[in-house]
């Protein structure tokens, strides 16, 4: 649910990166952060946990344009993949506008991908969202690894929503910006269709 700052004429949108532990969510945010001009972004904040880090920052994308005289700012969050951090996840999910599901392409991680997707559905429902209706993008990460499953298999197992999907190697930046652009455009379309 976008936040509108009427005085500053800004729309603030929240994109959450969700997926299994160590699947590439943090790497995605770091890549976007380092590729964004300094004047267009906030600091990169980190909430350390035992295994993973939760990162977040906001930025002003240069190519999205304005929505009726309002500037759009995106706030990106990575969600800890481990269920033990469920309380943190619930807090981060509040008020989201779109999700990038970062799946780990490795064959031995498929069960964790499926569990994470199920957890996403439940978390969305707890916040009053329907996974079939929110802007959602699938990113099949770690495509450079020899044990990566075929994209067709990942798509069949995970993307039951006909959502846009992308192959990626987040450590090299492949597919990172494409995934973000896709979910951003979906969010903008939803906003343009609503009452701003």
Q: Tell me, what's the pLDDT at 81?
A: 59
C-alpha–C-alpha distance, residues 171 and 96, integer Å = 25
The yes-or-no verdict on residue 163 having pLDDT over 60 is: yes
More confidently predicted of 104 and 85: 104
Residue 187: closest CA among 160, 164, 158, 154: 164
Handedness of CA 13, 19, 21, 23 (dihedral sign): negative
Q: Mean pLDDT across the chain, nearest whole number?
A: 85
Give the confidence band of 50 by pLDDT, cuts at 50, 70, 90: low
The yes-or-no verdict on residue 62 having pLDDT over 90 is: no
Q: Tell me, what's the pLDDT at 138?
A: 98
Q: Rounded mean pLDDT of 130-155?
A: 97
- Residue in this structure with the two tokens 């951090």, named with its chain if needed: 85
Name the pTM for this structure.
Answer: 0.88
Task: Give the whole-number percent of the chain exceeding pLDDT 90.
Answer: 52
Domains of the chain: 3-193 (3.40.50.300)
Task: Give the whole-number percent of the chain exceeding pLDDT 70.
Answer: 80
Give the confidence band of 192 by pLDDT, cuts at 50, 70, 90: confident
Q: Tell me, what's the pLDDT at 41?
A: 65
Q: Tell me, what's the pLDDT at 109?
A: 98
C-alpha–C-alpha distance, residues 101 and 116, integer Å = 9
More confidently predicted of 65 and 133: 133
Q: Rounded mean pLDDT of 47-54?
A: 56
Residue 103: closest CA among 161, 170, 187, 52: 170
């Amino acid at each position: 649910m976008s936040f509108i700052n009427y005085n500053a004429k800004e729309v603030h949108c929240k994109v959450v990166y969700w997926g299994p532990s160590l699947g590439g969510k943090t790497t995605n945010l770091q890549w976007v952060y380092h590729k964004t001009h300094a004047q267009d972004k906030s600091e990169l904040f980190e909430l350390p946990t035992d295994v993973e880090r939760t990162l977040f920052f906001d930025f002003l994308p240069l190519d999205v344009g304005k929505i009726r005289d309002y500037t759009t700012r995106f706030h990106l969050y990575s969600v800890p993949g481990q269920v033990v951090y469920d309380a943190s996840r619930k807090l981060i999910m509040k008020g989201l506008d779109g999700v990038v599901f970062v799946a780990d392409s490795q064959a031995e991680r498929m069960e964790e991908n499926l569990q994470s997707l199920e957890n996403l559905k439940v978390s969305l429902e707890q916040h009053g969202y329907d996974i079939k209706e929110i802007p959602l993008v699938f990113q099949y990460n770690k495509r450079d690894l020899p044990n990566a499953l075929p994209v067709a298999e990942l798509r069949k197992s995970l993307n039951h929503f006909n959502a846009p999907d992308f192959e990626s190697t987040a450590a090299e930046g492949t597919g990172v910006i494409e995934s973000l652009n896709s979910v951003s455009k979906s969010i903008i379309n939803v906003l343009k269709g609503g009452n701003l």
